[in-house]
Structure formats: C-alpha cells, structure tokens
Structure 1
Amino acid sequence: MPRATSQKFSRAHEPSAKKKDNQASGSMTNPIFNTARFGQHILKNPATAQKIVDAANLKPTDKVMEVGPGTGNLTVKILEKAKHVTAIEMDPRMAAEVIKRVQGTPEQRKLEVVIGDFVKVDMPYFEVCISNTPYQISSPLVFRLLSHRPLFRVAILMFQREFALRLVARPGTSLWSRLSANVQLYAKVDNIINVSRNDFRPPPQVESSVIRLVPIDPPPPVKFEEFDGMNRIIFSRPNKTVRGNFQAKGVMKMLEQNRSTWLSMQDMVRAITSWSLVPLPVDDERPVTKMVDDILTELGHTESRAAKMDIDDLLKLLSAFHEVGIHFS
C-alpha cells in the first residue's frame, strides 16, 4: 500500500511548488484548487463539514477511513473526535495539504495518508467511513465498502444528489432500480443532508446529498453476483414486464449455458464425493424457457414490472430459479 510521510512527500514535490501560477488573482490562484485533473470539488462550508462529522456519531476509540479528503476540511474535524484516521487521496497535492494542516500538532500522530486510487488500494481496518466522494467512483465505492470484511459500523457518504436518491429509493417509485435493490439487500440507507453546490470550491454543476449507510449484520447469505445477475435482466427495461425482459435476445441462451455448466459441476462433485450439497434437478426435462415461465407464473410475476418488486420478491424469485438449477453468474 503506498504511504506518504510529510517529509518524504514534501521533498518529492518541491520542484512543482516553484512553478509560477498564471491563473487569475484571488483564492483560485492557488494551484491546490486547480482540481480539474481528478474532478474534485473542495467542501468549503465549515457548518456542512461539521454536520457530516456529527452524523457519524464518532467515538474516541474509532478508527476512521476517509476517502477523498481534499484539503482536509473534514479530516481535521474527524481527528478531533476519532482515535485514528486513514485518509485515502489520489491527488498528491491534496495529500500534501492534508499533512500540512496537522503538522506539528497532536493530531499528526493520529493521521495516516495513503496516496492512491481508492478502487485499487488495500483498505485499512476501520469502524467508520466518511467520504466526500469523487463522483466517478460513487458506485465502485459503495460496493467495495459493502464487500469489505470485517463489517464497519457506519458510512457517511456524500454523492451527487441523483445517485444518492437512487440509493435510498423505495419499491414502487420511479427511482427504484437495480442499484437500489443491490445496495438495500446488504445495508440500510438513509438520506440525511442535502448540500448546495455553493458549499464547494469550485462549485460543481450538480447538487449533492449525504447518505448514511449501515451494513446489515450479519449480511444475508446471498451471493452478490447471483442477485445482481438476475437484477441485471429484470431491471434492463423498466417499462417492460419481468417476463418480457427474460425474453430479450440472448437471455435464455445465457441461462441455458449457465444451467448446463452448473449441472456439470454438480456431477463432478457427486462423482468425487458421492454426495451433493444441492439436490440435482437432473430429472427436469423442461426447456429453460418453460422453467422460467412456470416460475414467474407460480410466483405471480409474469406481468410484474421491476419497479413494483421489493427485496423479498426478488429473493423469492432467485431462490425459485436456484431450485431448478438456473443461475446468473
């Protein structure tokens, strides 16, 4: 994992610090706010920063992972309450600014800065995650957090408002989507703060929202790839019926191949161990198209649309498919 101390980092970037800034006068002449390279927008409103930190209900014993600290406006407030903060920052200039903010203070020993792409770096142990999330990694960040073990206690995450609203959407609403279902299978999600674009420097083109994400503990015993694979089909055309989406070009062929592969693997397990964890539906001679139609009819979802199906509906449907050997990954 790439790490940086203030001394090593400063020496490595001294030449760039001597370059002249040809931008207009004012606060934007500081090259630290030329954030186009990574699409960053610095949260400048201290009241909003305090609300975000307060929403985490931090304990003096907490280890916090912060993603995208920027210049450290959230970081310094987190350090006041937490035991330790690991800040993951992709932009070395920003990382230097965060280190500079605490240099020579008692908080310096509580801060570790990791320079790198959050999607690629190793995550540290943490109880709480706080993030002013770079919008381009919103979805990868959420699912990387949900797959992390051990489970964390809570995450307070800022996203583009449209993305946040999809995370918290409920079945039966226009924003209920594959993203909503996949996240809410594993976590409780609430919208807690709306943030104006004017709270950032430079202001983004969109409004933002802060959500609270609490993992379900223990997580449901459902393989994410299977749940997501089924939802990819069901939510592919939201205005079509579930049956219509399963009849889309290529879907049945994929399911036939998946079932054939799964049955072959089960046969290998049975041949080696003389037993199987799952009863094999080898006597079911129905074509996969008939199996799918029968399951949808039995569960009453032939004419259902994805927007009306809640988590329980989706889980029952997945279980029924698995019972006849139909898999999605």
Structure 2
Amino acid sequence: MLRVLKPLSGLSPKQHSLGQLQSRYRYRRHPKNDGGGDGVWKTEEKKDGYLQLHKNKGQHLLTNQRILDSIVRKSAIKPADTVLEIGPGTGNLTLKLLEAAQRVVAVELDKRMVEVLQKRVAESGVQDRLTVICKDALKAEFPPFDLVVANIPYGISSPLVAKLVYGARPFRSATLLLQKEFARRLLAKPGDSEFNRLAVNVNLVADVEFVMDVSKREFVPCPKVDSSVVIIRPKAEVPNVDLNEWWAFTKACFCKKNKTLGATFKQKKKVMELLGMSKLAGSNGESKDYISSTDNDDDEGESDEEEFSPSPCSEMGASSFKEKLMGVLKSADFEDKRPSKLSNEELLHLLALFNQAGIYFHDQSKSRNAENESFTVAYS
C-alpha cells in the first residue's frame, strides 16, 4: 500500500522541538495510486499536493522513527560534529541528525527533494546549521566532515563506498543503510560463500561492523529487498602498498575466486597479460572499479581454454614467464590455494612475492591516479 506524508494542522513550529516537528507528519495512501508503483509525498509546494518518488532512482524513504533514532544513536555523534548525509530525501533522518550534531551537510541530486527538505528544516528554526549540496554525490566535492550517516541509493553503493574509504577526506566513521545483500558482501570473511573482492579491498583500509537489519516494509515506497545498517571505520594504519597494483592484483585473483591460484595463473591469456605488464609494454588500463561488488568472482565465465594466439617468439617468452609465475606460487605454497579463502595478509604477502620477482599487475610506467594520491593525503 502506498502512503504519503501529510502535515497535521494545529501545531506551531516555534513551540516544538525537532523531535516534535517529526511527529507533525504521518503517512496515508495516495487516492490515485492504490494499485502500486512509486510512492508519493504530501507537500504544499506542489500544485497537486503530491511529490512523486521514483523507485528506479533509489528514492525509498525510511519512515520508522524508532529505527531512525537507533541509526543516529549508533553513529555516536558528538555535539560539535559535522555530519555528511548523502541522499537525505525529504529530511526524515536529517531532522534527527540536526538534533545531535552541530552541522549537517546534505548532498541531494533531486531539486524537488531539496525544496521539501529545506522547508521542513526551516520550520524547525535550524536552517543555519544545514548546508545543502544539490549535486550527484559521486561527482560532488565534499567539504570537511567528521562522520557520515546516510540512507544511500542502492545503485551507487559500491562507487560511493569507494569514494569514502579511498577519498581525500578523513572521517571517523560512516553509518550506512545499504541493500542487505550488498552489506553481507561487505561484511564477508575469508571462507564465507559471499567473500569477494569488494570485502578484500574495503578491508584493506577500513573495518566494517554490522549494526542491524531493516525490513523493506519500513520504507516508502516499499523496495523489493531488505536493508542492513553497517558502520565503516577507517583504519589508523594501512599497509604500504601501491593501490593501483593492489586493485589490479585482486581483480586478477578474484575473477575466478574458487579456482586455485595455480589454475588461474596458468591460463595463456593471463600469462601473456602479465608478461607484457612486467615488461612495461602492456596495460590492463587504470581500472577505477576497485571495489566493485559485481565482478565475476566465481568459477563461471571465461574459459581456461579461451582462444589466444601469441606469436612464436612471444610463445617462448611466455613459457619461461609461466614457469616464473608458478615458481613464485610454489615458493610459499600458494599454488593450490583459492582466493576465496585467503586473508588480506596472505594476499599482501603474495603480491609482495610477485613484485620482488619482477611480476606486476598494473602498468608501472603510468603515474598514480587521483584516487591513489588522495588516499596518500588522507591516511599517510
């Protein structure tokens, strides 16, 4: 059943706190949308009094006040903090954050949402403590902030987490409401069926803590899946590793996460790619998909027998290089191990062994990209 937020009459904003302002709103069914579809929001700014919410844009508003309070409480906000909120929508969480923090910076792409958000905050009398950035969160430059608290659109979860944990802005923690499946992948440990490249790359620089699950019934409009709240805390110390090299290495390993490393690195195509890279003559490209949760990190997909026809000269070099690859794997008993069961410490050790042997996964002739430089500034 679709519902709309409808302001109740008879209350003066000047006589009530932010918490009481929240209680001025309740939800009811839109009279023209009983059959399903997107949700609608009651607002005086619109000609017909309703604001359409689009599921395909990830516009799902969390309405349960108890859960909103719990998210704010778990975030451990200090009175002097500046909180970054991404995707505030119409302000349900924003009003709660303004009760706890000194300032809230809200990044919202939808101008219609911004109108409602600003009106609600103005009614509370604390508009001077809210900064709204009406831009795409993936493209916007964030001002300084202490922590992140957000119900982010499902569609940008992976690149947004990447922007936060590998970005230039240091922060204390990020409390995020995510799609449940994505959260499980983020929390996965070596040996878990869900363990993947996403977890490996995030765990390199941050710790992830599970907080709670949230039913899809707590949102308007109701999404198809449940959600989970997690807290991401950047690590005080991180490994001294070239991030471009690390991202390329984990991509090579987790393209077939359940195959043994020996089987993966025996493939002709893989051997030739790494041979070219190690000679600084080839390139995998500077992939920015460094924590993608959609990589084909299982045993399906590209065949070991994929057609590949190197020249006779390169065939001779490839044979020697293949022996070199296998030698590194055998030297530390990695040949029969599977990426899905390796810890970050083991993966870092293997990468170091490869590099010491002159085997590289990223084009070393290219300069470090902006993400890498930003990471150095933030965490060095």
Q: What TM-score range do you get, normalising by the shorter chain?
A: 0.7 to 0.9
- Please name the residue that 1:310 is paired with: 343
SS of structure 2 residue aligned to 1:74: helix
> What one-letter code is carried by the residue in structure 1 that aligns with 2:357?
V
- Please name the residue that 1:28 is paired with: 40
- Please name the residue that 1:268 is paired with: none
Structure 1 unaligned residues grouped into runs of 5+: 1-20, 264-284
- For the 8 Å contact 2:262–2:336, the answer to whether it is kept is yes
Deviation of 1:97 after TM superposition, in Å, equals: 1.3
Match of 1:113 among 126, 132, 150: 132
Matched, 1:251 2:270: yes
For residues 72-101 of structure 1, the C-alpha deviation after alignment (integer angstroms, 9 at most, x for no partner) is 111000111111111001111111111111
Match of 2:94 among 57, 75, 78: 75
> What one-letter code is carried by the residue in structure 1 that aligns with 2:200?
A
SS of structure 1 residue aligned to 2:224: coil
The answer to which structure has the higher helix fraction is 1
Q: Measure the CA separation in 2 of the matches of 1:32 and 1:193.
A: 30
Q: Measure the CA separation in 2 of the matches of 1:98 and 1:246.
A: 53
Deviates more, 1:249-258 or 1:166-175: 249-258
Q: How does 1:254-265 map to 2 (within 5 A)?
A: 254-261=273-280
- For the 8 Å contact 2:256–2:264, the answer to whether it is kept is yes
> What one-letter code is carried by the residue in structure 1 that aligns with 2:99?
E
Q: Measure the CA separation in 1 of the matches of 2:34 and 2:335.
A: 64
Q: Measure the CA separation in 2 of the matches of 1:199 and 1:68.
A: 17
- For the 8 Å contact 1:188–1:213, the answer to whether it is kept is yes
Q: Measure the CA separation in 2 of the matches of 1:207 and 1:29.
A: 22
Match of 1:324 among 354, 357, 365: 357
- Please name the residue that 2:20 is paired with: none
SS of structure 2 residue aligned to 1:80: helix
SS of structure 2 residue aligned to 1:24: coil
Match of 2:144 among 125, 140, 155: 125
For residues 83-133 of structure 1, the C-alpha deviation after alignment (integer angstroms, 9 at most, x for no partner) is 111100111111111111111544211101111111111111111011111
Deviation of 1:22 after TM superposition, in Å, equals: 9.0
- Please name the residue that 1:14 is paired with: none
- For the 8 Å contact 2:214–2:229, the answer to whether it is kept is yes
Q: How does 1:1-329 map to 2 (within 5 A)?
A: 23-24=32-33, 28=40, 30=42, 31-36=50-55, 38-261=57-280, 287-329=320-362
- For the 8 Å contact 2:77–2:101, the answer to whether it is kept is yes
Q: Measure the CA separation in 2 of the matches of 1:325 and 1:131.
A: 43
Deviation of 1:141 after TM superposition, in Å, equals: 0.7
TM-score, scaled relative to structure 1: 0.82
Q: How big is the alpha-carbon RMSD for the aligned residues of Structure 1 and Structure 2?
A: 2.2
Q: Measure the CA separation in 2 of the matches of 1:326 and 1:231.
A: 14
Q: Measure the CA separation in 2 of the matches of 1:323 and 1:286.
A: 20
SS of structure 2 residue aligned to 1:182: helix
SS of structure 1 residue aligned to 2:230: strand
Q: List structure 1 runs of 4+ shifted beyond 6 angstroms.
A: none
- For the 8 Å contact 1:38–1:91, the answer to whether it is kept is no
Q: Measure the CA separation in 1 of the matches of 2:86 and 2:280.
A: 40
Q: Could you say if the C-alpha distance between residues 103 and 29 of structure 1 is closer, same or farther in structure 2, counting changes exceeding 3 Å?
A: closer
Structure 2 unaligned residues grouped into runs of 5+: 1-29, 43-49, 283-317, 363-380
Q: Measure the CA separation in 2 of the matches of 1:85 and 1:112.
A: 6
TM-score, scaled relative to structure 2: 0.72
- For the 8 Å contact 2:189–2:195, the answer to whether it is kept is yes
Q: Measure the CA separation in 2 of the matches of 1:149 and 1:217.
A: 15
Q: Measure the CA separation in 1 of the matches of 2:265 and 2:185.
A: 24
SS of structure 1 residue aligned to 2:57: coil
SS of structure 1 residue aligned to 2:144: coil
